[in-house]
Chains A and B, each alone.
Chain A
Amino acid sequence: MSGMDEIAVLGVGMHPWGKWGRNFAEYGVHAAREALADAEVDWRDVGFVSGAITVRCGYPGYVAGSTFARALGFTGAQVASSYAACASGVTALSVARGQILSGACDVALVVGADTTPKGFLAPQEGERPDDTDWLRFHMVGATNPVYFALHARRRMALYGATPEDFAAVKAKNSRHGVHNPNARYPKEYDVDDVANSPVVSDPLRLLEICATSDGGAALVVCSMDYARSKGITDPVRVAGLSTVTPTYPDTVIDLPYLATDSAATAEPPELGFKESIGARVYAEAGLGPSDVDVAEVYDLSSALELDWYEQLGLCEEGEAESLLRSGATSIGGRIPVNPSGGLGAFGEAVPAQAIAQICELTWQLRGQAGARQVDGARVGVTANQGLFGHGSSALLRRAS
């Protein structure tokens, strides 16, 4: 698997995150036009449109790829739409990579956008006792923050994490996010602000739980030959993508399940599900954690960012708190994490978020990230996960 053929990221674009209340397609089209302009590619030259689906915006959301294509003007381009919950963006990119590497197209547009309701994400209406997502709300009252908090408490019990550590993650990401014009909350918070916000699910407080946002993000990706034909010799390249599922038995409780798999007659795999997400992307790229200069990880809660440090191999298990306290994961540190401000500064726009992570790394690897620039970044990795077993990670790099 090592030495996967690469594709180039030619252009990136975003619509600022917020609670704008407009049609999701508007955000997607805005982001797409920015990405096309950034790439200096005419929309009519795009051979494939890969849409990341939103399930909250009716039928046009289910056929997101064609919704965006129609809004940009139908050109006869091929189209697909992907849904993998929070992982939808990387799934859509992986479909585009397949089209490019198979020779079906030279240039593809990947777009995700969402318009979100207020409050907790809840399942669709209706009584569905055979749906584990419905059951966890109905029979237990287990919201998403409940699962985030179970993992936070576990870190406290196993590794001596403190609520102050979790608050420090939020504070760090907010210091990064103030420099990001696309962030929804460009405001600096300190640990006292976090401690003064109400508890949502003990030990996590309101400022540590990701909100839901409107937003849109897009990528123009192409074959390496096409990039060269445009005179671009050292583009940001997608060196690895991971869309792995768990390996049985998955013994870590996670959304939206009521129970884990059982290890009664099968030993858990050497790498847990989240560890396997990064392992795949490193293997595809032929690189390892020590090569990474910058990471964008899914801080659905402040504490989950600490889990990712370990799951991506940025430190050993149980050492995430020391890595954080050392300042290594702040801009200026050894391995800055979430220079964009992360979900803490954005709130989640589900189908756009994994694409937004790649936009940020592209700016970082090009040296275009302004006040939040990670000096000399050449290799970046993203990580997230969609519920029901969707891994999501991308490894981006430049040669020099």
Chain B
Amino acid sequence: MTTTSQAIVRQRVPAVEGFFTMDDEPSLIGGRLDTGGYCFPRHLGGSDPRRPSGEVEEVLLSRRGTIWSFTNSAYPPPPPFIVAEPYVPVVVAAVELAEERMVVLGQVAPGWTVDDLEVGMEVELDLGVLYEDDDTDYLTWQWRPVGLEPAPEEGGAA
């Protein structure tokens, strides 16, 4: 932990190691089977019957894809999800990666609601805070629509 005279600099760490890189332009860490197919997460391996227990090479997955489908969780998910108070509904997208020809699940970046999303929309990988404690942000991967801004929150008048 580093401190300055002004404030504590928060650490940013993956909530679980080995799922994504911590670069400015982060990537998911997947696996490439020796038959050529991909898997995520890497440790899950593949189930290709041609080589079910072949080597799984570490590979970075495409950072962009298109939304296959999306939804949210209006109620807080149960543990082992860690719920921040107040709870803001988690938005989830299943994203199709063209080169890998696979679909990967993930949260959608904060600020986006289901009303902002569409099947087929292009998204890019980002990292966001899954939960936090006093000095550390624990990160997960999130999908962020490309070239768009979320609709502003609706005002008080209903």
Question: B145 in the interface, Cβ–Cβ < 8 Å?
Answer: no
Question: B129 in the interface, Cβ–Cβ < 8 Å?
Answer: no
Interface residue from A154, A258, A262 paired with B41 (Cβ < 8 Å): A258
Task: Give complex CA distance A146, B76 in Å.
Answer: 12
Contact call A137/B16, Cβ cutoff below 8 A:
no
Task: Give complex CA distance A128, B30 in Å.
Answer: 19
- Enumerate chain A interface residues (CB-CB to B < 8 A): 119-120, 122-123, 125, 127, 129-130, 132, 134-143, 145-146, 149-154, 157-158, 198-204, 246, 248-249, 251-253, 257-266
Contact call B78/A153, Cβ cutoff below 8 A:
no
Chain B residue nearest to A125 (CB atoms) is B79
Instruction: Write out the residue numbers on chain A whose beta carbons fall within 8 Å of the beta carbon of B90.
Output: 140-141
Contact call A201/B16, Cβ cutoff below 8 A:
no
Task: Give complex CA distance A265, B35 in Å.
Answer: 7
11 contacts between A and B (CB under 8 A): A122-B78, A129-B16, A137-B77, A142-B73, A142-B77, A146-B72, A153-B119, A200-B74, A248-B46, A251-B101, A252-B103
Instruction: Write out the residue numbers on chain A whose beta carbons fall within 8 Å of the beta carbon of B47.
Output: 246, 248, 261
User: Which secondary structure characterizes the binding site on chain A?
Assistant: loop
Interface size for chain B: under 10, 10 to 19, 20 to 34, or 35 or more residues? 35 or more
Contact call B15/A139, Cβ cutoff below 8 A:
yes
Interface residue from A123, A153, A260 paired with B103 (Cβ < 8 Å): A260
Instruction: Write out the residue numbers on chain A whose beta carbons fall within 8 Å of the beta carbon of B75.
Output: 120, 200
Instruction: Write out the residue numbers on chain A whose beta carbons fall within 8 Å of the beta carbon of B71.
Output: 146, 149-150, 152-153, 201-204
- Across chains A and B, the number of contacting residue pairs, with CB separation under 8 Å, is 159
Q: Assuming the A-B contacts A202-B72, A253-B94, are A262 and B16 also in contact, with contact meaning beta carbons closer than 8 angstroms in the complex?
A: no
Question: B114 in the interface, Cβ–Cβ < 8 Å?
Answer: yes
Interface residue from A152, A198, A262 paired with B38 (Cβ < 8 Å): A262
- Enumerate chain B interface residues (CB-CB to A < 8 A): 15-16, 19, 30, 35-41, 43-44, 46-50, 68-75, 77-82, 90, 92, 94, 99-107, 114, 118-120, 130, 140-141
Interface residue from A123, A140, A157, A262 paired with B140 (Cβ < 8 Å): A140
**How far, in Å, is A306 (CB) from chain B's closest CB?**
15
Contact call A141/B101, Cβ cutoff below 8 A:
no
Q: Assuming the A-B contacts A259-B39, A260-B102, are A201 and B70 also in contact, with contact meaning beta carbons closer than 8 angstroms in the complex?
A: no
Instruction: Write out the residue numbers on chain A whose beta carbons fall within 8 Å of the beta carbon of B19.
Output: 139
Q: Assuming the A-B contacts A200-B74, A264-B38, are A140 and B106 also in contact, with contact meaning beta carbons closer than 8 angstroms in the complex?
A: yes
Task: Give complex CA distance A153, B100 in Å.
Answer: 23
Instruction: Write out the residue numbers on chain B whose beta carbons fall within 8 Å of the beta carbon of A266.
Output: 35, 37, 48, 50
**How far, in Å, is A196 (CB) from chain B's closest CB?**
15
Instruction: Write out the residue numbers on chain A whose beta carbons fall within 8 Å of the beta carbon of B44.
Output: 132, 257
Instruction: Write out the residue numbers on chain B whose beta carbons fall within 8 Å of the beta carbon of A202.
Output: 71-72, 74, 114
Task: Give complex CA distance A140, B90 in Å.
Answer: 8
**How far, in Å, is B144 (CB) from chain A's closest CB?**
15
Contact call B94/A140, Cβ cutoff below 8 A:
no
Q: Assuming the A-B contacts A137-B77, A150-B71, A154-B69, are A261 and B40 also in contact, with contact meaning beta carbons closer than 8 angstroms in the complex?
A: no
Contact call B101/A263, Cβ cutoff below 8 A:
yes
**How far, in Å, is A264 (CB) from chain B's closest CB?**
5
Instruction: Write out the residue numbers on chain B whose beta carbons fall within 8 Å of the beta carbon of A154.
Output: 68-69, 119
Contact call A262/B92, Cβ cutoff below 8 A:
no
**How far, in Å, is A133 (CB) from chain B's closest CB?**
10
Beyond known contacts A202-B72, A260-B103, A262-B101: 17 more, CB 8 A cutoff: A127-B80, A134-B80, A135-B16, A137-B81, A142-B73, A146-B71, A151-B69, A154-B68, A198-B74, A200-B74, A204-B71, A248-B46, A253-B105, A260-B102, A262-B39, A264-B37, A266-B37
Task: Give complex CA distance A66, B94 in Å.
Answer: 42
**How far, in Å, is B70 (CB) from chain A's closest CB?**
6
Chain B residue nearest to A119 (CB atoms) is B78
**How far, in Å, is B150 (CB) from chain A's closest CB?**
15
Instruction: Write out the residue numbers on chain A whose beta carbons fall within 8 Å of the beta carbon of B35.
Output: 265-266
Task: Give complex CA distance A199, B89 in Å.
Answer: 11
Contact call B102/A251, Cβ cutoff below 8 A:
yes
Contact call B81/A141, Cβ cutoff below 8 A:
yes
Instruction: Write out the residue numbers on chain A whose beta carbons fall within 8 Å of the beta carbon of B72.
Output: 146, 149, 201-202
Interface residue from B39, B103, B130 paired with A139 (Cβ < 8 Å): B130
**How far, in Å, is A124 (CB) from chain B's closest CB?**
10
Task: Give complex CA distance A135, B77 in Å.
Answer: 13
Chain B residue nearest to A198 (CB atoms) is B74
Task: Pick from B38, B46, B82, B101 the residue with the most CB of A within 10 Å.
Answer: B101
Contact call A265/B36, Cβ cutoff below 8 A:
yes
Pairs of residues from A and B, 3 with the lowest C-beta to C-beta distance, nearest first: A265-B36, A149-B71, A157-B119
Contact call A139/B92, Cβ cutoff below 8 A:
no
Contact call A150/B100, Cβ cutoff below 8 A:
no
**How far, in Å, is A370 (CB) from chain B's closest CB?**
37
